[in-house]
Amino acid sequence: MSDQRTGAGVDLHLDLDPALTRRGAVERAVREAIRAGRLAPGARLPATRRLAVELGLARNTVAAAYDQLVAEGYLTARRGAGTRVAPLSRPTTPAVATAPDAPGPRHDLTPGSPDVSAFPTTAWLRATRRALLAAPAGAHGYGDPRGRVELRTALAEYLGRTRGVQATPERIVVTSGYVQALALLASVVDGPVAMEDPGLPFHRDVVARAGRAVTPLPVDERGATVPDGVAAAVVTPAHQYPTGTPLHPARRRALTAWARDSGAMLVEDDYDGEFRYDRHPLGAVQGTASDHVVYAGSASKTLGPGVRLGWLVLPPRWVDPVVDAKLYADHHTEAIGQLALADLIATHAYDRHVRGRRLRYRRRRDRRRRDLLVRRLDALGLPVRGVSAGLHVLVEHHDETAVLARAAALGLAVSGLREHWHDPRAATRQGVVVGYATPAEHAYRAALDALTRALTA
Ligand SMILES: Cc1ncc(COP(=O)(O)O)c(C=O)c1O
């Protein structure tokens, strides 16, 4: 970074955190000064040499901290203009932007979310910045209902490489998460939709609200069974939700044969396919029957549900109807987030993030560690299902109601299996669905302590 600015720039008081490295402490102090509004957009920072002298640090340390903050988008650096606070580095409506989230449960093991405190903020900032700078003006206008071609191209490559999906950008539609994808699919099929039993009740409601009758698709130890007399079936082959069973190879074949022979739509919800631990990766079913299977994916488990980005890879005959439904739903999904995700995937920062997360979640359920999930549940003698993949397990228990009552008293959020059955009175098993990826790292063990107590009579 150039430093012809000695003497220029605002006066700045920075408290450096001694627990951090020197560079990290400078970064954090400047970042917090910007976030708190003590450094206004456009304000010129002290020259590196001057700040280094004031703080008693090496000039390189300050320069490296500035460089990092430039990369994160907090600062801008231009030769001759010095280093300044970036124009958009502070929310303009702090009252709204800083409104706190509603308080959550004391211990959160609800399934459905990764550890959102591990969102890759720095990588996302870099990707958004690069994407915005490179975006053509057209990106800010109305665009293709299928979504940005940059993202569809990146997804076609990524899904082929990591999940064995047969995809071309023309067959991909970007959606606002899986939930919109499912609603669009339900709106274009003509007849009842079979949904796994047990399965996620919210998704049944989404299909019903799109005007389709929902029929139960029983799940056994081989995963979803083969439906009959429906226009579509929705399955979770990689890690059945909520039982955790992978779809047996014979069932994969039987289901694709059913779709081929009946002309019905088979929807593969690959919501946590990136996360597998002790077993060979199971490629997507779509890879073996791409003309009959709709592949659905989402960034909710890899990045966070707040991103609201999902995607469909469609058999050719379904492309036009789904694109038409998407156009009438919302024109298309918000463009800048799509461009940022395309950049994240193309630069492989997405792969690196997913790999890092996979290691973390695998460790959370480590069989060899007595204080971690699987050993604790083994010690209680409770059957645990779905350990080898995904972000949740099913813990079977003969008295689900009592477990949920104890959990509530402990401030622990978990999900009961009962609500997942189409008809809870016909439930054949009881238990709780535990989302072990949800808590932040520091809160994980306390959540497991609470779970152990809730499961113990
Ligand atoms: C079974 C299942 N499918 C899909 C999703 C992803 O949904 P969305 O992309 O709408 O967040 C989830 C998230 O919890 C899920 O549990």
Measured in angstroms, how far is the CA atom of residue 299 from the centroid of ligand 1? 9
Mean pLDDT of the chain: 92
The boundaries of every CATH 1.10.10.10 domain in the chain are 22-85
Length of the chain: 457
Topology of domain 22-85, CATH: Arc Repressor Mutant, subunit A (1.10.10)
Query: 119-353 maps to which CATH number?
Result: 3.40.640.10
| Interatomic CA distance for residues 178 and 427, integer angstroms | 27
Measured in angstroms, how far is the CA atom of residue 199 from the centroid of ligand 1? 11
What pLDDT, in 10s, does the model give residues 427-454? 999 999 999 999 999 999 999 999 999 9
Ligand 1 within 6 A of CB of 177:
yes
What pLDDT, in 10s, does the model give residues 361-417? 999 987 777 778 898 999 999 999 999 999 999 999 999 999 999 999 999 999 999
| Cα dihedral 51/52/57/61 (nearest 10) | 100
Ligand 1 within 6 A of CB of 271:
yes
C-alpha dist (Å) from residue 400 to 57, 81, 197, 397: 59, 65, 18, 6
What Rg value do the Cα atoms of the chain yield, rounded?
25
Measured in angstroms, how far is the CA atom of residue 215 from the centroid of ligand 1? 20
Topology of domain 361-455, CATH: Aspartate Aminotransferase, domain 1 (3.90.1150)
Ligand 1 within 6 A of CB of 318:
no
| Interatomic CA distance for residues 16 and 335, integer angstroms | 39
Helix axes 48-55, 59-72, angle to 10 degrees: 120
What pLDDT, in 10s, does the model give residues 4-48? 333 467 887 888 888 888 998 999 899 888 887 788 888 899 999
* Helix ranges (DSSP H) in 56-188: 59-72, 94-97, 121-134, 149-163, 177-188
Running DSSP on this structure, what letter comes out for residue 171?
Answer: G
| Interatomic CA distance for residues 224 and 232, integer angstroms | 13
Q: Between β-strands 384-385 and 392-396, what pairing exists: parallel, antiparallel or unpaired?
A: antiparallel
For residue 319, the number of C-alpha atoms closer than 13 Å in the C-beta half-sphere is 15
Q: What share of the chain is helix, strand, coil (3-state, %, to 5)?
A: 45, 15, 40
What pLDDT, in 10s, does the model give residues 176-213? 999 999 999 999 999 999 999 999 999 999 999 999 99
88-97, 217-226, 275-284: which has the minimum mean pLDDT? 88-97
Name which residue sits closest to atom 4 of ligand 1, judged by CA. 271
Ligand 1 within 6 A of CB of 236:
yes
The boundaries of every CATH 3.40.640.10 domain in the chain are 119-353
Measured in angstroms, how far is the CA atom of residue 112 from the centroid of ligand 1? 6
The boundaries of every CATH 3.90.1150.10 domain in the chain are 361-455
Handedness of CA 43, 48, 54, 60 (dihedral sign): positive
The string of DSSP codes covering 373-423 is HHHHHHHTT--EE-TTBSSEEEEE-S-HHHHHHHHHHHTEE-EESGGGSSS
| Interatomic CA distance for residues 63 and 66, integer angstroms | 5
Running DSSP on this structure, what letter comes out for residue 105?
Answer: -
Q: Which atom of ligand 1 lies closest to the CA of 180?
A: 10
pTM of the model: 0.80
Helix axes 177-188, 316-330, angle to 10 degrees: 110
Question: What is the separation, in whole angstroms, between the first and last Cα of the chain?
Answer: 63
